[in-house]
C-alpha cells in the first residue's frame, strides 16, 4: 500500500487531463464559431475592397479624361495662335474668338479644380484602404498568436495524458480508468477534497479564456489579404503616377500662361505710359495687377497722374481725363497686338479743342506706326479736318438718304493747283 498515494495522484492527474481535453474541445468548437464569424467579416471586407477598387478605376478614368481635355485645349490654343499669325482677324470676329478662348481657359481652370478635388478624394480613399488593411493585418497577427497558444496548450495536455497512460501501464498494468477499481480504494469520500480540483478547474478556464478564439483559416486569409494588398499597392502607384502627370500638365499650362500674360501686360503697360504722356503732355500712368499674387487670378487697376495732380485711380478723374486715359489704353493694346481696323465712335465728344488736337496727332502717329485703318464717327470739325477721307450721309430729298465721300488730300491738291 506504499504506492497508493502515487496511484491516487495519477488518477487525479488523469481526471484533470480529461477535463482539460474536454475544455480544449469546447474551446475548439468556440474557435470554429469564431472562425465562421471572421470568415463573414473577411468577405465583407473583400466586398468593400472591391467597391473601392471600382471607385479607383472611375477616378483614373476621370483623371485621364481631364488630361485629354487639357491636351486638346492646348492644341486648340496653339492652332489659334498659328491662325492669328497667318491671317488678320476682323475686330468683331477677333472679339468673339478672344471670348471663346477666355471661356475655354475658364473651363480648363474648372477642370483643374475638379481634378484637384478628385485627387483629394482619391487620396482619402487610399488612406482608408491603408487603415483597413492595417486593421486586418493586426487581426491576423492576433489570430496567429491565439492559434499558437491554443496549439501549444493542446500539445502539452496531450503529452501529459500520454505520459499518465504510460506510467499507469508500467506501474499498474492497466489503463488509468481501471486503477481505482483494481486498487479497491473504498469510499470516494476518503479521496482528496474538491477544492483542489475546483482551483485547478478555475485556473484552466482562465488559461482557456486567455487563449481566445482560434482561426483555422488564418494562413489562407493572410495570403488573400497579402494578395489584395499587393494589388492595392500597384493601383495606388498607378494612381499616384497619373496624378503626378496631371499636376505636371496643369503646372506647365499655368507657367506658360503666367509668362505670356506677364509679358503682354508689361508691354501694354509700357506703351500705355508713353501714350498717356503724349495725350496729356506730361504726367504719369501705369497698370497694376491687384487682388491676387497669381497673375492668372488678378485684376487690373489703372493708376493715372495727369500733370499737376496726384496719382489716383481712373474713377476719380474727370470725364475728359477718363476718356484720354481710356484711349491711351486702347491704343497701347493696338500697338502690342495690331488689328486691321479700329472703329472709334465719337471718342472726341468729351474733349476740348486742345485735347482733340492731341488725339488727332496721336492718330497720325498710330497710322504711321501700324497698318491699322482708323474709322472715326465724329461731329467735331477739328477731327474731320484732320482726316484723310470723309464719308457723310445727307438727305437731299425727304425719305431718300445719300452717301457722300470727300478725299481731303486730293481736294487740297486741286485747291493748291488752282
Q: What is the DSSP string of 97-115?
A: HHHHHHHHHHHHHHHHHHH
Q: Which grid coordinates belong to 33?
A: 464559431
Rounded to whole angstroms, how far apart are CA atoms 127 and 99?
A: 42
Q: Which of 108, 123, 131, 110 is nearest to 55 (CA)?
A: 123
Strand bridging mode 400-407 / 389-397: antiparallel
Residue 180 pLDDT exceeds 70: no
Which position has the higher pLDDT, 123 or 382? 382
Rounded to whole angstroms, how far apart are CA atoms 396 and 417?
A: 30
Planar angle of CA 242, 245, 251, nearest 5 degrees: 140
pLDDT band, residue 82 (cuts 50/70/90): confident
pLDDT at residue 2, rounded to an integer: 42
Residue 64 pLDDT exceeds 70: yes
pLDDT at residue 19, rounded to an integer: 81
Q: Which of 198, 220, 216 is nearest to 154 (CA)?
A: 216
Residue 192 pLDDT exceeds 60: no
Average pLDDT over residues 146-159: 75
What pTM did the predictor assign?
0.42
pLDDT at residue 4, rounded to an integer: 45
**Percentage of residues of the chain with pLDDT beyond 70:** 82
Asked if 211 and 150 count as a contact pair (C-beta separation under 8 A), the reply is: yes
pLDDT at residue 351, rounded to an integer: 86
pLDDT at residue 147, rounded to an integer: 72
* Phi-psi sector, 43: left (phi>0), alpha (psi -120 to 50), beta: alpha
φ, ψ (nearest 5 deg) of residue 3: -95, 5
Residue 7 pLDDT exceeds 80: no
SS3 call for 192: coil
For the CA atoms of 112, 298, 273, 323, the dihedral, rounded to the nearest 10 degrees, stands at: 110
Average pLDDT over residues 6-15: 73
pLDDT at residue 175, rounded to an integer: 64
pLDDT tens for each residue of 282-321:
888 888 888 888 878 888 888 888 888 888 888 888 888 8
Average pLDDT over residues 49-58: 82
Rounded to whole angstroms, how far apart are CA atoms 145 and 139?
A: 10
**Percentage of residues of the chain with pLDDT beyond 90:** 0
- Greatest mean pLDDT among 59-68, 228-237, 270-279, 406-415 lies in 270-279
Average pLDDT over residues 179-197: 59
Residue 5 pLDDT exceeds 60: no
- In angstroms, the Cα distances linking 58 to 51, 54, 62 are 11, 6, 6
Name the average pLDDT for the chain. Answer: 78
Lowest mean pLDDT among 92-101, 151-160, 215-224: 92-101
Average pLDDT over residues 257-269: 87
pLDDT at residue 1, rounded to an integer: 40
Q: Which grid coordinates belong to 7?
A: 496511484
Average pLDDT over residues 325-351: 87
Q: Which of 409, 406, 380 is nearest to 391 (CA)?
A: 406
DSSP bridge pairs for 299: 290
Rounded to whole angstroms, how far apart are CA atoms 273 and 228?
A: 66
- In angstroms, the Cα distances linking 180 to 18, 83, 187, 354, 400 are 16, 111, 11, 137, 142
- Break the chain into its structural domains and give their ranges: 4-258
SS3 call for 389: strand
Rounded to whole angstroms, how far apart are CA atoms 84 and 216?
A: 74
SS3 content of the chain, % helix, strand, coil (to 5): 75, 10, 15
Q: Which of 350, 19, 406 is nearest to 196 (CA)?
A: 19
Average pLDDT over residues 389-411: 81
Residue 406 pLDDT exceeds 60: yes
Q: Which of 385, 394, 392, 393 is nearest to 412 (CA)?
A: 385
Average pLDDT over residues 53-76: 82
DSSP state of 277: H
Residue 248 pLDDT exceeds 70: yes
Rounded to whole angstroms, how far apart are CA atoms 118 and 108?
A: 15
DSSP state of 87: S
Q: Which grid coordinates belong to 156?
A: 502539452
Strand bridging mode 284-290 / 299-305: antiparallel
pLDDT at residue 3, rounded to an integer: 44
C-alpha dihedral sign at 220, 223, 228, 229: positive
Q: Cell numbers 437731299 correspond to what residue? A: 396
Which position has the higher pLDDT, 143 or 188? 143
φ, ψ (nearest 5 deg) of residue 75: -65, -40
C-alpha dihedral sign at 116, 121, 127, 133: negative
Average pLDDT over residues 4-17: 70
Sheet architecture: strand order including 312-313: 284-290, 299-305, 312-313
Lowest mean pLDDT among 144-158, 338-352, 356-370: 144-158
Residue 353 pLDDT exceeds 80: yes
Residue 355 pLDDT exceeds 80: yes
Amino acid at each position: 500500500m506504499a504506492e497508493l498515494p502515487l496511484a491516487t495522484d495519477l488518477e487525479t492527474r488523469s481526471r484533470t487531463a480529461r477535463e482539460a481535453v474536454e475544455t480544449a474541445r469546447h474551446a475548439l468548437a468556440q474557435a470554429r464559431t469564431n472562425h465562421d464569424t471572421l470568415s463573414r467579416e473577411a468577405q465583407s471586407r473583400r466586398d468593400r475592397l472591391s467597391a473601392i477598387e471600382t471607385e479607383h478605376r472611375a477616378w483614373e478614368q476621370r483623371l485621364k479624361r481631364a488630361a485629354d481635355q487639357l491636351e486638346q485645349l492646348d492644341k486648340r490654343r496653339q492652332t489659334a495662335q498659328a491662325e492669328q499669325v497667318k491671317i488678320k482677324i476682323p475686330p468683331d470676329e477677333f472679339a468673339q474668338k478672344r471670348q471663346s478662348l477666355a471661356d475655354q481657359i475658364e473651363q480648363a481652370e474648372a477642370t483643374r479644380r475638379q481634378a484637384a478635388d478628385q485627387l483629394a478624394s482619391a487620396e482619402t480613399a487610399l488612406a482608408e484602404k491603408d487603415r483597413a488593411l492595417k486593421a486586418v493585418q493586426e487581426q491576423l497577427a492576433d489570430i496567429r498568436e491565439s492559434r499558437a497558444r491554443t496549439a501549444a496548450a493542446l500539445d502539452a495536455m496531450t503529452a501529459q495524458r500520454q505520459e499518465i497512460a504510460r506510467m499507469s501501464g508500467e506501474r499498474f498494468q492497466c489503463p488509468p480508468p481501471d486503477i481505482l477499481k483494481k486498487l479497491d480504494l473504498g469510499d470516494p469520500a476518503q479521496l482528496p477534497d474538491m477544492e483542489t480540483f475546483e482551483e485547478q478547474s478555475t485556473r484552466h478556464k482562465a488559461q482557456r479564456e486567455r487563449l481566445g478564439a482560434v482561426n483555422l483559416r488564418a494562413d489562407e486569409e493572410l495570403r488573400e489579404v497579402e494578395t489584395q494588398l499587393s494589388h492595392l499597392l500597384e493601383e495606388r502607384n498607378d494612381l499616384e503616377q497619373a496624378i503626378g502627370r496631371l499636376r505636371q500638365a496643369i503646372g506647365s499650362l499655368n507657367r506658360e500662361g503666367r509668362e505670356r500674360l506677364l509679358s503682354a501686360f508689361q508691354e501694354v503697360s509700357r506703351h500705355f505710359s508713353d501714350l498717356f504722356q503724349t495725350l496729356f503732355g506730361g504726367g504719369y500712368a501705369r497698370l497694376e495687377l491687384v487682388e491676387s499674387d497669381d497673375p492668372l487670378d488678378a485684376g487690373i487697376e489703372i493708376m493715372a497722374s495727369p500733370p499737376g495732380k496726384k496719382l489716383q485711380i481712373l474713377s476719380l478723374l474727370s470725364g475728359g481725363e477718363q476718356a484720354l486715359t481710356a484711349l491711351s489704353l486702347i491704343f497701347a493694346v493696338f500697338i502690342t497686338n495690331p488689328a486691321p481696323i479700329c472703329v472709334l465712335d465719337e471718342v472726341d465728344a468729351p474733349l476740348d479743342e486742345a485735347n482733340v488736337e492731341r488725339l488727332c496727332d496721336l492718330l497720325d502717329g498710330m497710322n504711321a506706326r501700324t497698318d491699322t485703318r482708323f474709322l472715326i464717327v465724329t461731329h467735331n470739325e477739328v477731327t474731320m479736318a484732320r482726316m484723310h477721307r470723309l464719308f457723310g450721309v445727307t438727305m437731299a430729298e425727304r425719305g431718300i438718304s445719300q452717301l457722300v465721300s470727300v478725299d481731303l488730300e486730293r481736294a487740297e491738291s486741286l485747291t493748291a493747283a488752282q
